[in-house]
A = this chain, B = another copy of it.
Amino acid sequence: MRNRAGIETRERILSATKRLLAERGLDGVTIKGICDAAEVHAGSFYNLFESKEQVVLTAVREAIKAVDPHPSGSGVDRVEELVDAYIRFVMDDQDLARVYLTVAVSGGLTDPAIRTRVLRHHQDRHARFVAALRRERVDIGDDEAAELIDALLAALNGYAFQWLLDPTFDFENHARRLLRFA
């Protein structure tokens, strides 16, 4: 059984990890950095987490989960709503969005453990968008819908990336315009 103090400390460590991941990226994060930010010593860290990899993967998992906050079948099932949810995620939860895009998406290109998670996440996300699209436009075939969603998701990620690099980029407007195109 875990003590109340331990739960609180664990939360503080995880929160610091997310913030540092957003600021400094995957390899800019160190145990010392996390411990300083969370006001904890190394011994406490290793009492609550097994390794640096574990706390990072936990943070990445949370970022990935935050991309689609509404569980499937919760009423958020139209493409427009799904896109809106992504817009809100990126703009309202910038730290997690940064973790998602820099660590998860681009970390997926180099880190095998992250790559596995990202690809599965993308598959689920893709399937949900395709299902929503086909519900709305029965005239579209399965393959065509899959391709449209492929392009839509990739472009949305590109937009989000650009917005994080340059805040004057009108992410919301472009995303909605893209939706009308698809």
Bound Cα distance A70, B89 (Å):
38
The answer on a CB contact under 8 Å between B150 and A154 is no
From residue 149 to 177 of chain A, which have CB atoms closer than 8 A to chain B? 150-151, 153-159, 161-162, 164-166, 169-170, 174, 177
Contact partners of A106 in chain B: CB under 8 A: 25, 101-102, 105-106, 161
Q: A158 is contacted by which of B23, B24, B158, B165 (Cβ under 8 Å)?
A: B158
CB-defined contacts of A109 to chain B, threshold 8 Å? 25, 98, 101-102, 164-165
Across-interface contacts of A170 in B (CB, < 8 A): 147, 150
Whether A165 contacts B110 in the complex (CB less than 8 A), given A154-B158, A174-B150, comes out as no
**Smallest CB–CB gap between A179 and chain B, Å?**
12
List of B residues within 8 angstroms of A118 by Cβ:
165
Contact size range, A: 35 or more
Task: Flag whether A127 is at the interface (Cβ < 8 A).
Answer: no
Is A178 located at the chain interface by the 8 A CB criterion? Answer: yes
Inter-chain CA distance A127–B101, complex, in Å, is 26
A35 within 8 Å of B (CB atoms): no
A156 contact set on B, CB distance < 8 A: 158
| Contact between A155 and B166, CB atoms less than 8 A apart | no
